[in-house]
Structure 1
Amino acid sequence: MIKSRFHNMLLLGSVLLVTLFSCQKSNDDDGPKSKSALLTASLWKIASVGADLDKNNTVDLPYPLENCEKDNTLEFKTDGTGISREGATKCDPADPDSENFTWSLKNNETILNIAIPGSFFSGDATIITLNETTMEAYLDITDPDTGTQVRIIFKLIH
């Protein structure tokens, strides 16, 4: 009798476990996330910036980021707006704590159009890499001092 009751409890427990695990949603079934979903998942920080002199999507001339720049964050919201926030340290105490910006994806999510007032991060940035932890993209900008076009690569991380 005890053996039969134990056997029934074991069988019931096994059925419950199989039912529980078979009903759980697998992350593999979700498929790849859209670039919009990847952008808006969490805050981004600037990891690196540099010039790509030969336009081969690698930095040839790194820009040395100051600590007061490394702690700034960018938040991309799902409605096409965003907030650029100063971190705990400011390069200029007179800088505002945050600034609003707008963004959109274009050309089959290969171009990030971003408009941050007063920043060279404004314009059409071609996305090189975008995943759960990293975004790397480049902007072709005109150097205001020389009038020449320069490719700037920037890398953001979570």
Structure 2
Amino acid sequence: MNRLIKTLLLLFVVAGFSMTACKKDSDSKSNEEKLTGASCWKQSKVEAQDPFTGSWVEDTIDDCDKDDCITFNEDKTLDFDEGAVKCDPSDPQTATGTWSLSADGTTLTLNDPNSGSFTGTVTELTDSKLVLEIDVLGFKSRITFTN
């Protein structure tokens, strides 16, 4: 989870320099069921909002981040796995934290006892796609996770 938080913070710093179009699937599952129904969420797209034009620009995802896996469990715990390729060999392979979703399903918070918490706005959530918009120090990013 430390790696996830560090990666997200780095992405937001990069956001000022570099920036998803989404579609919605309709189904009857709750947002929590959509999150917990997937065995593994992986980053598939990262975008940063250009602070001057407001447009979104796609950024690259390092190979060591592409295989990272996040699992949302029904008991509100969160499992993070570094995957086969680690960015920092000294990072633990796995970490556990907690997660919460606001009642209206628009705010997702991830908590890690070692790294603190991270909150994003859910702009899209289907069985196979999660899009979070994050604002860090005035820089906006969108991260798309797929499973």
TM-score by length of 1: 0.67
CA distance in 2, matches of 1:124, 1:69: 19
What percentage of aligned pairs have identical amino acids?
28
Match of 2:122, SS state, is strand
The CA deviation string for residues 24-60 of structure 1, in whole angstroms up to 9 with x for no partner, is xxxxxxx610000000012101112221235999632
Q: For residue 144 of structure 2, what is the amino acid of its counterpart? A: K
CA distance in 2, matches of 1:47, 1:55: 25
> Is the alpha carbon distance of 1:133 and 1:58 closer, same or farther for their aligned partners in structure 2, counting shifts above 3 Å?
farther
Report what 1:51 is aligned to.
48
Aligned residues, how many? 119
State whether residues 58 and 153 of structure 1, in contact with CA within 8 Å, keep that contact through their aligned partners in structure 2.
Answer: no
Unaligned regions of 5+ residues in structure 2, if any? Answer: 1-26
> Is the alpha carbon distance of 1:83 and 1:150 closer, same or farther for their aligned partners in structure 2, counting shifts above 3 Å?
same
CA distance in 2, matches of 1:64, 1:34: 31
TM-score by length of 2: 0.72
> Is the alpha carbon distance of 1:56 and 1:84 closer, same or farther for their aligned partners in structure 2, counting shifts above 3 Å?
farther
Unaligned regions of 5+ residues in structure 1, if any? Answer: 1-30, 143-148
Runs of at least 4 residues off by over 6 Å? 55-58
CA distance in 1, matches of 2:130, 2:53: 17
> Is the alpha carbon distance of 1:157 and 1:103 closer, same or farther for their aligned partners in structure 2, counting shifts above 3 Å?
same
